[in-house]
């Protein structure tokens, strides 16, 4: 039986030479900014390993892709980046990380956009330069030529609310994300569908909107808890807002989950909260990997398998939810509070 030979990639050569992947790429593309010693070492290893570029690889490739996000202060995007970098490294490609506002024209083989649809300034500039793009979780409908990677936001929102209903909750507050975002609307629609299927009314007074920040969770959670007939459970459209609800509850003398059940969305270190947060998990690392595989295929001239790919969300049940037995004490506390 003939043994299977592992394909030699740029990453293989880079590791053997003790240099970075972009350095090997610059040697292959005959860039002049490499020392003679480094160039000779890399070229020797290319011969020894019998490195053969893929037939579709153009000589003018930079060996780099861009990972572009709205801003660099984005915890969940860092999980996406793990997947992007891992897959890019396997394929011998380097990754440049940029905030959208700082993006400038430069040589790049392709771009992974985070929450951008390809219809904005960044997308227009990349399209002008004929740079392939893939968008992760675009905020609005993506341009027709931009494949998108997302998750089952609607079913995630529905599952979270269904689980709370199954525990006996009937007054369930919801803190959605910014109204203009597709993911926010899908999570809210899933919440509404669960209520409708259970025959429960949708009380507009139990719906709040945040901006995915901890502070907006504190404010929106406080408004829900201060209203007459407050909710016994709150589903927040991301973990940061859910942790803000924790703070709003504690500042009012309420306990999680004894007096208030809380569910988030994302699963970003949610297990480290006190109590550990029940949340809808997004497979963020795999989203980054899939986006990169899709982009590298476009760079090689391969068509995208689908215009949109959705990965499955999963409800992770932890200690932040319980049956609403203690919530009656919460409402009684409210009734006894001084006017």
Q: What is the pLDDT of residues 145-168, one digit of tens each?
A: 899 999 999 999 999 999 999 999
Tell me, what's the pLDDT at 54?
53
Would the pTM count as exceeding 0.85?
Answer: no
Question: What residue spans in the chain does CATH classification 3.40.50.2300 cover?
Answer: 64-151+284-312, 153-281+316-336
Nearest of 284, 253, 254 to residue 234 by alpha carbon: 254
Q: Report pLDDT for 55.
A: 38
Q: What is the pLDDT of residue 330?
A: 42
CATH class of the domain defined by 64-151+284-312? alpha beta
Q: Kindly report, residue by residue over 194-237, the tens digit of the pLDDT.
A: 999 999 999 999 999 999 999 999 999 999 999 999 999 999 99
Distances (CA, A) of 127 to 118, 133, 142: 8, 8, 13
Span of 113-127, 137-151, 234-248 with lowest mean pLDDT = 113-127
Specify the DSSP class assigned to residue 91.
T
End-to-end CA distance of the chain: 84
Instruction: Quote the CA–CA distance of 286 and 241 in Å, as a whole number.
Output: 24
Residue 134: the pLDDT is 96
Question: Per residue in 11-27, pLDDT tens?
Answer: 788 888 888 777 777 77
Provide the H-helix boundaries in 121-238. Answer: 121-128, 153-166, 182-197, 214-226
Spell out the CATH class of 153-281+316-336: alpha beta
231-278 pLDDT, tens digit per residue, is: 999 999 999 999 999 999 999 999 999 999 999 999 998 999 999 999
pLDDT band at 52 (very low <50, low <70, confident <90, very high): low
């Amino acid at each position: 039986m003939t043994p299977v030979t592992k394909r030699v990639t740029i990453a293989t050569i880079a590791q053997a030479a003790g240099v970075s992947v972009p350095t090997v790429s610059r040697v292959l593309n005959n860039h002049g900014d490499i020392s003679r010693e480094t160039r000779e070492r890399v070229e020797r290893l290319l011969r020894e390993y019998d490195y053969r570029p893929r037939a579709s690889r153009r000589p003018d490739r930079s060996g780099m892709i861009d990972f572009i996000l709205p801003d660099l202060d984005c915890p969940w995007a860092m999980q996406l980046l793990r997947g992007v970098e891992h897959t890019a490294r396997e394929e011998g490609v380097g990754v440049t990380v940029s905030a959208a506002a700082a993006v400038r024209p430069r040589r790049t083989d392709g771009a992974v956009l985070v929450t951008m649809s390809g219809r904005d300034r960044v997308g227009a500039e990349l399209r002008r330069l004929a740079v392939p793009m893939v968008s992760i979780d675009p905020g609005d409908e993506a341009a027709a030529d931009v494949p998108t990677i997302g998750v089952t936001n609607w079913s995630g929102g529905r599952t979270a609310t269904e689980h709370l209903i199954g525990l006996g909750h009937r007054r369930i507050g919801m803190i959605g994300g910014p109204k203009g975002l597709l993911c926010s609307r899908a999570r809210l629609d899933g919440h509404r569908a669960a209520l409708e299927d259970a025959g429960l009314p949708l009380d507009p007074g139990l719906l709040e909107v945040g901006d995915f920040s901890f502070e907006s969770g504190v404010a929106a959670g406080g408004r829900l808890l201060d209203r007459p007939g407050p909710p016994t459970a709150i589903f927040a459209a991301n973990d940061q807002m859910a942790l803000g609800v924790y703070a709003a509850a504690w500042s009012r003398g309420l306990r999680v989950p004894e007096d208030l059940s809380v569910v988030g969305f994302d699963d970003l270190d949610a297990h480290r909260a006190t109590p550990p947060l029940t949340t809808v998990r997004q497979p963020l690392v795999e989203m980054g990997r899939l986006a990169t595989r899709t982009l590298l295929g476009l760079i090689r001239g391969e068509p995208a398998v689908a215009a949109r790919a959705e990965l499955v969300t999963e409800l992770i049940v932890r200690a932040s939810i319980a049956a609403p037995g203690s919530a009656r004490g919460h409402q009684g506390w409210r009734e006894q509070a001084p006017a």
